[in-house]
Amino acid sequence: MPMKMLTMKMLALCLVLAKSAWSEEQEKVVHGGPCLKDSHPFQAALYTSGHLLCGGVLIDPQWVLTAAHCKKPNLQVILGKHNLRQTETFQRQISVDRTIVHPRYNPETHDNDIMMVHLKNPVKFSKKI
């Protein structure tokens, strides 16, 4: 009987691990799809060490709204970019000089997962940005 119980526990553990591994591979945006070029000029991409980290939204010439879990050193914001896999003529890369994380952000539960990102230089709005 103890061997049967151990086998059942191991099977349950394998199912839990398989379920969590499968869920990590799922798409991040449900029913998402490509958007038309220049249809979201306020969309921002946050990079650190040359790697895409998070998305955000430009809400002012010097402020981007994003998630607090995106706080990393040496953040860069790229605006005016439609295809993240290639450099585009009108894209602008701007350094971040300050971040403000919600004072009640909880990294364990992700409650209040919001952050303001201040750009070192203001952005001039256009059709692309």
pTM of the shown model:
0.70
Q: Each residue of 22-74: pLDDT tens digit? A: 444 445 556 667 777 766 678 899 999 989 999 999 999 999 999 999 999 99
| Contacts of range 47-51, beta carbons closer than 8 Å, 24 or more positions apart | 47/75, 47/76, 47/77, 47/78, 48/72, 48/73, 48/74, 48/75, 48/76, 49/74
Residue 20: predicted pLDDT: 46
Q: Spell out the domains of the chain, with CATH numbers in brackets.
A: 43-119 (2.40.10.10)
Q: Each residue of 2-16: pLDDT tens digit? A: 666 665 656 555 454
